[in-house]
């Protein structure tokens, strides 16, 4: 495709997408066959946006908030040209995409790439292999993902179908947070003082806070439906710091997919979705016009001891009227009763646990659960909060005026490098020098992880990695700690899906707990919640060469250092090796 053709088709495609939020994705896909190359242009630019009667200039893609939707089929290649027109350095992550041998396109700043600087361009080029469902893209530097995010809809290959009844319509629903002030100022202030960050002013549904907030009645997402139809809702949690409960009044939801992997369907009135996670649900509407409208609500699931945004975002499920008389229809809608769902209590860990345990892989011949049955390497990671000493002659706002909040894995708070780790790894590997690291496979000093915390809460700081030979099967136990309070942590692993083979409360017991592991049909995903005061066990096969970030998807915890990286070495065969970096890879 020539340059002029690329630009015209790209601009037309973006225009179509921005105006077709509710168009069934299958109609969009008719523009190209399976296995095609799809081009997008993402212009990073400032845009004035007003919410809650506050207008501010935010960083956007193509002036849209939320950003444009990406549509593709399994097997398609995506070529996304990102042009940075703003003063911030930018990098974008395609959350949940496996990035098989395309780690240069993964996006986390200073891990797989240096950020795209002002006036610079980078082309993300990758192929979607063996995935179908809902994923999402977002900025992966500082807190810019508060406004830089959008859905990725991956349709099955041509002539393939869903393992459930075909829906009449498909709608992406993306949850977010709105801050009246600049989020970069919020995180900069928090890191400077060592205290907790200011919380958001509202949660949003597709960028809209909804009628339960002041000055927000007009900024309400409305899902207009017809009786007797089935809607596939593609739910995404893009919130910075909060897991969310979600429910629609007087309607049940059937869960069919999590993190772009089909699951055994089950019905529920309410679901829980952590930042980074996606969930596809089927909504079956009532068979007849109900003479009512229905609120759909999302509010946080809270486990930590810090402050949080204790508010609720609302959208409206509205049935199309049987008659088309415009004036009378408007008056009728205003008089209809509005039903409200009952959400679990803010701290309902029992619901959270029961919900997560219902998620199981399909584990069929067509969609198998390829759980590693044997394990080559075992790791035990503690995840949680801690402290750093306050700098001399400073007054800090951490747990005490002599400390600053920190977060760590195995008591190591990750220090971001100044050159992308993938570049360092590739250059060393090209010269037959393997990157060596000292990241501990288990805590250096064991303690009662969920009991009385130790007196010394200080963490160590460093850029330490774990190196894995190609095709290593890994079992990882992630244990929450009670240091500065137990808390649920949604951990996201780049470059891989993993199987959640077990979870529990208290301290993990290696002599007893493995007996209860599910090695038959565990849920497969890319982001999992480490239970508050508990542990989770995952398994994955390290079959993707590169450097892969793993971090808490609560943005404040990532900022405090709850992150690390895995290095997967090249295999022996040509298709098991990381290709060289693209010529336009951004420079630091």
Q: What is the dihedral of CA 574, 575, 576, 578, to 10 degrees?
A: 80
Q: Bridge-partner residues for 13, per DSSP? A: none
pLDDT score at 432: 64
Q: Mean pLDDT over residues 559-578, rounded?
A: 97
Q: Between these two residues, 324 and 277, which has the higher pLDDT value?
A: 277
User: Given a cut of 80, is residue 487 above it in pLDDT?
Assistant: yes
- 3-state SS string for 4-53: HHHHHHHHHHHHHHHHCCCCCHHHHHCCCCCCCEEEEEEEEEEEEEEECC
DSSP letter for each residue of 77-104: EEEEEEEE-SSS-B-EEEET---TT-GG
User: Given a cut of 70, is residue 486 above it in pLDDT?
Assistant: yes
DSSP letter (8 states) at residue 171: E
Residue tagged 């010529």 (tokens): 583
Fold entry, domain 377-576: Immunoglobulin-like (2.60.40)
pLDDT tens digit sequence for 131-143: 999 999 999 999 9
d(CA 451, CA 534): 11
Q: Look up residue 362 and give its two tokens.
A: 């399909």
Q: Mean pLDDT over residues 31-45, rounded?
A: 83
Of 237, 177, 175, 236, which is closest to residue 201 (Cα–Cα)? 177
User: Given a cut of 50, is residue 19 above it in pLDDT?
Assistant: no
Q: Mean pLDDT over residues 142-161, rounded?
A: 96
pLDDT score at 322: 82
Same fold, 28-162 and 164-323+331-361: yes
Q: Mean pLDDT over residues 496-521, rounded?
A: 98
Q: Counting beta carbons within 10 angstroms of the beta carbon of residue 311, is it exposed (0 to 12), middle (13 to 18) or buried (19 or more)? A: middle
Diameter of the chain by CA atoms? 76
427 and 580 in contact (C-beta within 8 Å)? no
Q: Is 185 helix (H, G, I), strand (E, B) or coil?
A: helix
Instruction: Provide the pLDDT confidence category of residue 15 given band limits of 50, 70 and 90.
Output: very low
> What does pTM read for this prediction?
0.93
d(CA 101, CA 123): 16
pLDDT score at 398: 96
DSSP letter (8 states) at residue 488: -
User: Given a cut of 70, is residue 326 above it in pLDDT?
Assistant: no
Instruction: Provide the pLDDT confidence category of residue 119 given band limits of 50, 70 and 90.
Output: very high
Q: Counting beta carbons within 10 angstroms of the beta carbon of residue 574, is it exposed (0 to 12), middle (13 to 18) or buried (19 or more)? A: exposed
DSSP letter (8 states) at residue 130: S
pLDDT tens digit sequence for 249-265: 999 999 999 999 999 99
Instruction: Provide the pLDDT confidence category of residue 97 given band limits of 50, 70 and 90.
Output: very high
Residue tagged 């860990």 (tokens): 349
pLDDT tens digit sequence for 206-220: 999 999 999 999 999
Helix (H) or strand (E) holding 232: strand 230-237
How many Cβ atoms sit within 10 Å of the Cβ of residue 100? Answer: 19
Helix (H) or strand (E) holding 380: strand 377-389
Residue tagged 């075992």 (tokens): 378
Q: Look up residue 285 and give its two tokens.
A: 């509407």
269 and 252 in contact (C-beta within 8 Å)? yes
Instruction: Provide the pLDDT confidence category of residue 328 given band limits of 50, 70 and 90.
Output: low
d(CA 353, CA 529): 10
d(CA 274, CA 288): 34
Q: Bridge-partner residues for 244, per DSSP? A: 273, 300
Whole-number mean pLDDT of the chain?
92
d(CA 574, CA 567): 18
d(CA 240, CA 143): 8
pLDDT score at 428: 85
Pairing of strands 253-258, 278-284: antiparallel
Helix (H) or strand (E) holding 296: strand 293-301
d(CA 587, CA 248): 47
Q: Counting beta carbons within 10 angstroms of the beta carbon of residue 3, is it exposed (0 to 12), middle (13 to 18) or buried (19 or more)? A: exposed
CA 253 remoteness from chain centre: 21
CATH number of this structure's domain 28-162: 2.60.40.420
441 and 379 in contact (C-beta within 8 Å)? yes
User: Given a cut of 50, is residue 13 above it in pLDDT?
Assistant: no
d(CA 303, CA 310): 13
Angle at 441 between CA 435 and CA 447, to 5 degrees: 145
Instruction: Provide the pLDDT confidence category of residue 508 given band limits of 50, 70 and 90.
Output: very high
Pairing of strands 77-84, 92-95: unpaired
Count of CA atoms in the C-beta half-sphere (13 A) of 121? 10
All residues at 6 or more sequence positions from 308 whose CB lies less than 8 Å from its CB, including other chains: 199, 241, 242, 300, 302
pLDDT score at 324: 62
User: Given a cut of 80, is residue 375 above it in pLDDT?
Assistant: yes
d(CA 563, CA 547): 13
d(CA 502, CA 508): 10
Q: Mean pLDDT over residues 79-99, rounded?
A: 98
Instruction: Provide the pLDDT confidence category of residue 35 given band limits of 50, 70 and 90.
Output: confident
pLDDT score at 401: 87
227 and 251 in contact (C-beta within 8 Å)? no
> Domain 164-323+331-361 sits in which CATH superfamily?
Cupredoxins -  blue copper proteins (2.60.40.420)
421 and 551 in contact (C-beta within 8 Å)? no
pLDDT tens digit sequence for 523-550: 999 999 999 999 999 999 999 999 999 9
User: Given a cut of 60, is residue 193 above it in pLDDT?
Assistant: yes
d(CA 484, CA 386): 7
pLDDT tens digit sequence for 405-458: 999 999 999 999 999 999 999 998 766 655 557 899 999 999 999 999 999 999
Q: Where are the domains of the chain?
A: 28-162, 164-323+331-361, 377-576
User: Given a cut of 90, is residue 582 above it in pLDDT?
Assistant: yes
Instruction: Provide the pLDDT confidence category of residue 285 given band limits of 50, 70 and 90.
Output: very high
All residues at 6 or more sequence positions from 151 whose CB lies less than 8 Å from its CB, including other chains: 66, 69, 70, 134, 135, 136, 172, 174, 234, 236
Count of CA atoms in the C-beta half-sphere (13 A) of 165? 10
Count of CA atoms in the C-beta half-sphere (13 A) of 461? 13
Q: Is 550 helix (H, G, I), strand (E, B) or coil?
A: strand
DSSP letter (8 states) at residue 302: -
């Amino acid at each position: 495709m020539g340059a002029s053709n690329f630009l015209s088709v790209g601009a037309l495609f973006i225009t179509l997408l921005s105006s077709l939020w509710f168009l069934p994705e299958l109609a969009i896909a008719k523009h190209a066959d399976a296995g095609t190359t799809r081009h997008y242009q993402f212009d990073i630019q400032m845009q004035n946006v007003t919410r809650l009667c506050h207008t501010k200039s935010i960083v956007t893609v193509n002036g849209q908030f939320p950003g444009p939707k990406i549509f593709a089929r399994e097997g398609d290649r995506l070529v996304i040209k990102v042009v940075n027109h703003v003063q911030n350095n930018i990098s974008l992550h395609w959350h949940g995409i496996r990035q098989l041998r395309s780690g240069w396109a993964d996006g986390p700043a200073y891990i797989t790439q240096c950020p795209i600087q002002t006036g610079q361009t980078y082309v993300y080029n990758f192929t979607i292999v063996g995935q179908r469902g809902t994923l999402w893209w977002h900025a992966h530097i500082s807190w810019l993902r508060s406004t830089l995010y959008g859905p990725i809809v991956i349709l099955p290959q041509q002539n393939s179908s869903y393992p459930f009844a075909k829906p009449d319509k498909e709608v992406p629903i993306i949850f977010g947070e709105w801050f009246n002030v600049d989020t970069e100022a919020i995180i900069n202030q928090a890191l400077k003082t060592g205290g907790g960050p200011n919380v958001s002013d509202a949660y949003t549904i597709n960028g809209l806070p909804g009628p339960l907030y002041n000055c927000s009645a007009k900024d309400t997402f409305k899902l207009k439906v017809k009786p007797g139809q089935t809607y596939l809702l593609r739910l995404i949690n893009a919130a910075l710091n909060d897991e969310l409960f979600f429910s629609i009044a007087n309607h049940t939801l059937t869960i069919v997919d999590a993190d772009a992997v089909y699951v055994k369907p089950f019905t529920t009135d309410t679901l829980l979705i952590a930042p980074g996670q996606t969930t596809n649900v089927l909504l079956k509407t009532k068979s007849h016009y109900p003479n009512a409208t229905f609120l759909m609500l999302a509010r946080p699931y809270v486990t930590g001891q810090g402050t949080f945004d204790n508010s609720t975002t609302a959208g409206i499920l509205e049935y199309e009227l049987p008659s088309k008389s415009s004036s009378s229809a408007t008056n009728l809608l205003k008089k209809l009763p509005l039903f409200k769902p009952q959400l679990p209590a803010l701290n309902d860990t029992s619901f959270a646990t029961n919900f997560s345990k219902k998620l199981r892989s399909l584990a069929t011949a067509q969609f198998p659960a390829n759980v590693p049955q044997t394990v080559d390497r075992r790791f035990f990671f503690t995840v949680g909060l801690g402290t750093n000493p306050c700098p001399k002659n400073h007054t800090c706002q951490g747990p005490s005026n002599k400390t600053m909040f920190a977060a760590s894995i195995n008591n190591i708070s990750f220090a971001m490098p100044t050159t992308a780790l993938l570049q360092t790894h590739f250059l060393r590997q090209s010269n037959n020098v393997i990157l060596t690291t000292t990241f501990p496979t288990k805590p250096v000093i064991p303690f009662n992880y969920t009991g009385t915390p130790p007196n010394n809460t200080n963490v160590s700081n460093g850029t330490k990695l774990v190196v894995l030979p190609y095709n290593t099967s890994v079992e990882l136990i992630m244990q929450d700690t009670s240091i500065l309070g137990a808390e649920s942590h949604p951990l996201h692993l780049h470059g891989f899906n993993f199987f959640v083979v077990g979870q529990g409360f208290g301290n993990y017991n290696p002599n007893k707990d493995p007996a209860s592991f599910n090695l038959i049909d565990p849920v497969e995903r890319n982001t999992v919640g480490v239970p508050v005061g508990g542990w989770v066990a995952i398994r994955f096969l390290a079959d993707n060469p590169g450097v892969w970030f793993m971090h808490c998807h609560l943005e404040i915890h990532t900022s405090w250092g709850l992150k690390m990286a895995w290095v997967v070495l090249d295999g022996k065969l040509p298709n098991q090796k990381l290709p060289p970096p693209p010529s336009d890879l951004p420079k630091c």
